[in-house]
Amino acid sequence: MKIAIDAGHGYETPGKRSVDGMKEYEFNCAVANEMKKLLVKYEGVTVLFTHSDQRDVPLNERTTKANKEKVDVFISIHANAHGIGNQWTSAEGIETYVYTTKPKTATRLAQMVQNELISSTKRKDRGVKTANFHVLKATSMTAILCECGFMTNKEEAALLQSSSYRLTCAKAIVDAIVKYYQLTKTKSTISSSLYKVQVGAFSNKQSADALAKELIAKGYDTFIVK
């Protein structure tokens, strides 16, 4: 299956900043990159990015690309904000959006993603909501948008800037996708799992035998070369 990951906005998008200066795209693209690393480990999965590190890709261009490539699911990654943007507020938590018509498949996926995010991050559960966002309206496939925390909340802004929280969010979203679509991990290929144990590299054959047994126990295809 094809999965489109959309890191919202761009590095220079006006106003998309935390109070202490983190650009929202820094969080969005980091999560997107971690998601790709995880997703490509599954059978038959290809990942398409609709964003760019060089420019803020227009929304219409993002959805057109996803539609043209006939992707199966579209995941847009964001960080939230509340208030005028230059002062801390108390708004907090995570929410996941689907289009206003509440498409059945998108709503089910959104709920699974929301549940995984809350379980993994322990942040406030703001629920699954509907919105007329362009990336939800103009996409022809299942599409959801995740708001992974508030840049205007001092505690969550610190989390959004940490690599551990970014990885946690990425893994939670991927885990939900894997469960929903029942994806299967790619099996190790012979080229990556086949080990040759050279007897001459050891003081005796018993040492080579021991290493071979250890590798076999770990699931590697192993043979001894005398």
Q: Do 139 and 98 form a contact (C-beta atoms < 8 A)?
A: no
Centroid of chain to Cα 146: 10
* Full strand arrangement of the beta sheet holding 46-49: 46-49, 2-7, 73-80, 142-150, 94-99, 125-131
- The span from the CA of 201 to the CA of 169, in Å, is 45
Q: Specify whether 24 is catalytic.
A: no
Q: Please compute, for residue 53, the number of CA atoms within 13 A of its CA located in the half-sphere on the CB side.
A: 6
Instruction: Give me the tens of pLDDT residue by residue for the chain, a chain 226 residues long.
Output: 999 999 999 998 888 999 999 999 999 999 999 999 999 999 999 999 999 999 999 999 999 999 999 999 999 999 999 987 679 999 999 999 999 999 999 999 999 999 999 999 999 999 999 999 999 999 999 999 999 999 999 999 999 999 999 999 999 999 999 999 999 999 865 444 455 555 555 556 667 677 767 766 666 655 555 5
Active-site residue, selected from the candidate residues 34, 147, 156, 214: 147
List the one residue out of 159, 146, 219, 215 whose CA is nearest residue 189.
Answer: 219
pTM: 0.83
